[in-house]
Amino acid sequence: MSQIEEAELLKLLANPKEQQKAFALLVNQYSQQLYWKIRSFVLSHDDADDVLQNTFLKAWKNIGTFQGKSKISTWLYRIAINESLDFIRHQKPIATVGADQSTGVSNRLLADEYFDGDKGQALLQEAISSLPDVQRTVFLLRYYDEKKYSEIHDILGTSEGALKASYHIAVQKITEYIKKHQ
């Protein structure tokens, strides 16, 4: 299936007779970018697939409430990020009883057959995973996706000043974490 313009996609989604077909186009069009956004949060391929599926299930369930006040990609990003953070929050009690949540992230990544990075990249991911949710989210959107603060504002609904502060603090924490663990 080829890419479809957002306006055309929205028109198809609004038509009950075309909604299933339109949603299949939406899934096809946004799966890959959402997968990689989710993967930057949850790190594991299998977990990212599960969260992606949950993202599209939630989008399908709530497609009737989409008002078109933002881009559909922004709406999907927000759902994907929220689903990713929910997944992480539910994993913490299981994976980190009495331990630092980031412990072992780099080891798990290096053992993951889908991870193609080196030890430095794994340590960076471990440092990112040690950040609080908001700082992690802002850092990932700004650093990896190269989103402008105005775009991050649209996704998260946070003021640009607060986003800039969160990014700056995240960079400082990541730098300190890497220096400490090298």
Tell me the residue range of the domain where 175 lies: 102-182
pLDDT digits 0-9 by tens, 128-170: 888 998 999 999 999 988 999 999 998 888 999 999 999 999 9
Count of the separate structural domains present in the chain: 2
Distance CA 165, CA 168 (A): 5
Residues 152 and 78 in one domain: no
Mean pLDDT computed over 101-112 = 60
**Where does a domain end: 72, 95, 118?**
95
User: How far is it, in rounded angstroms, from Cα 84 to Cα 137?
Assistant: 10
Q: What is the pLDDT of residues 51-66, one digit of tens each?
A: 999 999 999 999 888 8
10 burial via Cβ count (<10 Å: 0-12, 13-18, 19+): middle
Instruction: Tell which of 78, 95, 112 closes a domain.
Output: 95
Over 60: is that where the pLDDT of 124 sits?
yes
Both structure tokens of 121 = 């990249």
Q: What are phi and psi of 74, to 5 degrees?
A: -65, -45
Question: What global pTM score does this model have?
Answer: 0.75
